[in-house]
Amino acid sequence: MTYKRALGLTGIGGAAVAVLLMGQIVLATSRTYLVDVDFTVDRTVGTGLPGAPVELRMLGDSTVAGVGTDSISEALPVLVAERVARRLGRPVHVVGLGVSGARTDDVHRDQLPRIGSADVIVIVAGSNDVIHVTPYHRLRAQTAALLAAARARDVPVVLGGVPRFSGVTAFPRPLRDLADGYAAVQRSAQRRAVRAVPGVTFVDIAALASPRFLGRPDAMSGDAFHPGTVGYGFWADALAPAVIAAVTTARAG
């Protein structure tokens, strides 16, 4: 399925409208949410628990970098680590390498080489590929290459899929609806990439977390684009079970 079909845009006129509206999304985004405040996350949680820490590494975009929160303690990597530590009864050392504006290929090129030792890798990326209209087949190939390179480290990998854009009120309609439709297409590309790389778990943030934002204005940050602490908590609730399962399976093996 092409994104034009997904959005009900067909023919040359539809393609022109899609390109024009996507250009407006890029422009609106550059004015609205691109910020220079990223958190460098390097924290051990559950320090009173027994055992060696689980080495958790998180790669991705501004959502991994903590944009939308006020402190490192509220950043997505720490929220995931806290849930994993509680469930496993072990400390978790989490390092977040996310960078605002990073696309899937940026994560592969710039962040993956910096991981160091890890027991599990979590990647949350793709939203910027929606905004910048990365073609479907290119994103699928780039995602598969990123996941294969991460799996080459012989540790389990968890990929958090592109969220819904329906609650991003920083985008007026019809930009918001267009972005949401293209996000669905990009999630399909991610799913196909995951199926091609054994040892990777796909977490559908759009299905597991995005619906929880409805009726919860406190789930979004003040920029109306990124989640706030409550919203990142919803994301962490979706991601943590997959991380726990991956670590448990790896230990059993």
Return the pLDDT at 244.
Answer: 97
Instruction: Give strand pairing partners of 121.
Output: 57, 157
Q: What is the pLDDT of residues 80-113, one digit of tens each?
A: 999 999 999 999 999 999 999 999 999 999 999 9
Question: What is the spatial distance between Cα 23 and Cα 144, in angstroms, rounded to a whole number?
Answer: 26
Return the pLDDT at 21.
Answer: 52
CA 14 to each of CA 5, 7, 186, 245: distance values in angstroms, whole numbers, following the listed order: 9, 9, 19, 44
**For the chain, which residues score pLDDT lower than 70?**
1-39, 253
Return the pLDDT at 107.
Answer: 98
CA 3 to each of CA 24, 26, 133, 165, 181: distance values in angstroms, whole numbers, following the listed order: 16, 17, 10, 15, 7
Return the pLDDT at 178.
Answer: 87
If you search the block for the tokens 């699928």, which residue do you land on?
A: 140
- For residue 164 the two structure tokens come to 């819904």
67 φψ region: left (φ > 0), alpha (ψ -120 to 50), beta (else): beta
- For residue 184 the two structure tokens come to 């669905």
CB 91 within 8 A of CB 53: yes
- For residue 132 the two structure tokens come to 């910048």
In words, the CATH class of domain 3-252 is alpha beta
Domain residue extents for the chain: 3-252
DSSP state of 159: E
Q: What is the pLDDT of residues 4-24, one digit of tens each?
A: 444 444 443 344 345 445 555
Return the pLDDT at 176.
Answer: 84
8 φψ region: left (φ > 0), alpha (ψ -120 to 50), beta (else): left
Question: What is the spatial distance between Cα 158 and Cα 228, in angstroms, rounded to a whole number?
Answer: 22
Return the pLDDT at 166.
Answer: 85
pTM assigned to the model: 0.88
